[in-house]
């Protein structure tokens, strides 16, 4: 699967937030030294991480993503690119929900980390609602149905 498909889905779900382009390079030795475009993250294929240049500290920093490229590849292969965005957003919301619970237990609900995670959760929830308007949601065929066995020969 091409990196362009992953890039398209990743940009569609804003993972990570704040970047508007992703460029794939083989390893850290291929990262550019000058003329680095802003809001661009570089995918290091050998290390399977994303890095972005921090102008304030003048070094490359690891960019945290909610979903790995492999998971996005799975969603694309299983559901197609459009519905992969829906599944990615649902997975991001689950991940952020766990982080919110941990942040609340660790530092309380007045902590800036907790508040930032809540804002991020609200952003992704709104993005999911916007995507729901443009695509048909995936069909979940699983449900519980109460049945009774047939009575044969008068029964008990």
Structure-token pair, residue 138: 């995936």
106 belongs to a structural domain: yes
Q: Which of 56, 55, 30 lies closest to 43 in space, CA to CA?
A: 30
Does the residue 113 lie in any domain? yes
**Do 58 and 102 belong together in one domain?**
no
Residue 2 domain-assigned? no
What one-character DSSP code corresponds to residue 109? T
Residues whose CB falls within 8 Å of the CB of residue 42, separated by 6 or more in sequence, listed in order:
22, 23, 24, 25, 31, 50, 51, 52
* Rg of the chain over all Cα atoms, to the nearest angstrom: 21
pLDDT tens-digit readout, 100-127 = 988 888 887 778 888 999 999 999 999 9
Examine residue 68 and state whether it is found in any structural domain, yes or no. no
Predicted local distance difference test score (pLDDT) of residue 24: 92
Mean model confidence pLDDT for the chain: 86
Nearest to 10 by CA among 53, 70, 67: 67
Inside any domain, residue 105 = yes
Burial of 94 (0-12, 13-18, 19+ CB in 10 A): exposed
Total domain count, the chain: 2
Model confidence, pTM? 0.76
Q: Is residue 74 part of a domain?
A: no
- Domain containing 92: what range? 81-134
pLDDT digits (tens, 9 = 90+) for 19-54: 999 999 998 889 888 888 889 999 998 889 999 998
Asked if residue 21 belongs to a domain, the reply is yes
Q: Which of 35, 28, 27 is nearest to 55 (CA)?
A: 35
**Three-class HEC string of 14-79:** CCCCCCCEEEEECCHHHCCCCCCCCCEEEEECCCCEEEEEECCCCEEEEECCCCCHHHHHHHHHHH
Together in a domain, 59 and 86 = no
Clarify whether residues 44 and 89 are in a common domain. no
């Amino acid at each position: 699967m091409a990196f362009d498909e992953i890039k398209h889905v990743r940009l569609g779900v804003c993972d990570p937030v704040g970047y508007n382009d992703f460029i794939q390079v083989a390893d850290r030795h291929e990262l550019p030294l000058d003329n680095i475009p802003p809001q661009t993250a570089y995918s290091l294929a050998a290390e399977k991480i994303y890095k972005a240049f921090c102008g304030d500290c003048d070094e490359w920093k690891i960019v945290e993503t909610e979903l790995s490229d492999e998971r996005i590849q799975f969603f694309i292969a299983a559901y197609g690119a459009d519905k992969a965005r829906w599944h990615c957003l649902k997975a991001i919301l689950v991940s952020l929900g766990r982080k919110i619970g941990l942040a609340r237990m660790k530092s309380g609900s007045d902590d800036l980390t907790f508040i930032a995670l809540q804002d991020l959760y609200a952003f992704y929830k709104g993005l999911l609602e916007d995507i729901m308007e443009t695509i048909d949601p995936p069909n979940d065929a699983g449900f519980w149905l109460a049945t009774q066995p047939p009575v044969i020969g008068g029964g008990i």
